[in-house]
Amino acid sequence: MNPSSKASGLYPVYKNQCGWNALLSPRSPSRTMPAGRRFGTIVIGAGYTGLAAARRVAELEPDREVLVLDASTIGEGSAGRNSGFLINLPHNTRLGGHTSTLEVAKKQIRMYDAGLDWLGQLVRDNEIECGWNAVGKFHAAASDDGIRNLKSTLDQYREWGVSFTEYDRDGLRGKLGTDYYRYGYHSPNNVFVQPAALIRGLADTLPRNVVLLEEEAVLSLTHTAPFRASTANGEFTADRVIVANNGFAKALGILRDRLITIFTYAAMTPRLPEDELAKLGTAPEWGVIPANRLGTTLRRTLDGRFLVRSAYSYEREQSAEKTLTQLTGSYRRRYPAMKSHRFEHVWGGTTALTRNGATFFGAFRPGIFASLGCNGAGVLKGSMYGKLLGEMAVGSQSQHLTDALSLDEPNWLPPEPFRRIGVVSAIRYQAAVAGLER
């Protein structure tokens, strides 16, 4: 890849290797150019959405080839850089126009439950070793505002019929090993995975009629059939295109006035000795979702590591020094008694946000289908939306597809430089509001 390319352009250029991918054995990227250049479908982006769409199209059209193009190596891209939570609950229920928020929530829950079942079956059938562990997750708050946020969420859980267990400070101390948090709850609606292992496993078990090309960035895309996707190594033609490269679809002339690209940051310790792990609570694996969007996510992994995730930056990755300082501070504040707060891996990753939290899902132009703007909920949501997008592309119908198409689309965003000013100001404001949750 061209290292001069910026995150606001064709694809992100990361400063550091993905920590999750660094824990796995080296993988040789698929770079062998196909003999032909004509395909039934071209999929742009080999994250969870793109791979799910490619898999479903290939299953429904076994006699036609699907080409998947991705700018990175599988495991090093954004799909491998998240915290590894698969949460099958809505993140935003205000996406149904005049439809009640309860009905919107029920639609999303139905889709996410089906997506989790489908993804779990793929993991089992293909024997993908990704640490799949359905142990739920904690939500925890350290501030008065955070507590109010969590209790408001529990009002929704009661309405949705979702089970949970509440904890005070003493209860959380027993579970998490810290008295930093004053209040929280545990919900069973989560599966932990090793995200780089999962995305690599999904890529390596695609149907035979899928051709995967890694480190092959799409430089341009025509918007009328037959569609032509150009890369540094040539031009590929297809009857239809599925765009699943999230915020970087803007560089291809898609949703330029709807998407923003945000970097988030994570760090992971080496394997900790048993006496240090004992300071992180009793369960062998757990995770904490913060009470504020710009708060700090935590995860204790089954193999004895500790992950801290926090901070946002707009369009470009911040300095490694700033990231390390921020994440070390979050770790130290919560666990001051640890012998060391050293991280073995520190990395950034991108996500795409929209102004109203909606995902664009459906036909962008005749023959061009897209799912863009995951808003930080990419693994499970992306997998299900990719599956449904693949079905839509070949003309298949289902209630889940109808539900997905009924949700609101992303709102308009102002042009630069007003967009940057607004987003950066919002990040600074929300960071201040987050306070102790950071």
pLDDT score at 50: 98
Tokens of 109: 């829950």
pLDDT tens figures, 240-281: 999 999 999 999 999 999 999 999 999 999 999 999 999 999
Mean pLDDT of 389-394: 98
State whether 59 and 176 are in the same domain. Answer: no
pLDDT of residue 6: 46
- Give the rounded percent of residues in the chain with a pLDDT score beyond 90: 91
pLDDT at 237 over 70: yes
Q: Which residue type occupies 21?
A: N
What distances in angstroms separate CA 30 from CA 35, 196, 200, 276, one per listed residue?
Answer: 14, 16, 12, 40
Q: What is the pLDDT of residue 238?
A: 98
The predicted structure's pLDDT at residue 97 = 57
219 and 276 in a single domain? The answer is no
With 60 as the cut, is the pLDDT of residue 4 above it?
A: no
CB 372 within 8 A of CB 259: yes
Position 63 pLDDT exceeds 80? yes
Residue 62's pLDDT is 98
**Residue 92: inside a domain:** no
| Range from 34-38, 51-55, 99-103, 422-426 carrying the lowest mean pLDDT | 99-103
Instruction: List pLDDT tens digits, range 306-320.
Output: 999 999 999 999 999
8: pLDDT strictly greater than 60: no
Indicate left, alpha or beta for 81 from its phi (over 0: left) and psi (-120 to 50: alpha): alpha
**In terms of domains, do 174 and 224 share one?**
no
Contact status, residue 198 vs residue 182, Cβ threshold 8 Å: no
Query: What is residue 162's predicted lDDT score, i.e. its pLDDT?
Result: 96
One domain for residues 289 and 250: no
Residue burial 189-219, b: 16+ Cβ < 10 Å; e: rest: bbbbbbbbbbbbbbbebbeebbbbbbbbbbe
Q: What local confidence, expressed as pLDDT, does residue 13 receive?
A: 86
Residue 328's pLDDT is 98
Report residue 186's pLDDT band, with 50, 70 and 90 as the boundaries. Answer: very high
Q: What is the pLDDT of residues 354-383, one digit of tens each?
A: 999 999 999 999 999 999 999 888 899 999
Average pLDDT of the segment spanning 226-235: 96
Is 57 a domain residue? yes
Residue 112 lies in a domain: no
On the 0-12 / 13-18 / 19+ scale of CB atoms within 10 A, 371 is buried
Name the residue with tokens 């829950």: 109
Count of domains forming the chain: 2
DSSP code, position 357: S
7 pLDDT tier (thresholds 50, 70, 90): very low
The domain that contains 146 carries what CATH number? 3.30.9.10
According to the model, what pLDDT value does residue 96 have? 61
**Strand spans (E) along 269-396:** 286-290, 297-300, 306-314, 345-353, 360-365, 368-372
Average pLDDT of every residue of the chain? 94
- Terminus-to-terminus CA distance in the chain, angstroms? 34
Does 91 reside within a domain?
A: no
Q: Are residues 187 and 268 in the same domain?
A: yes
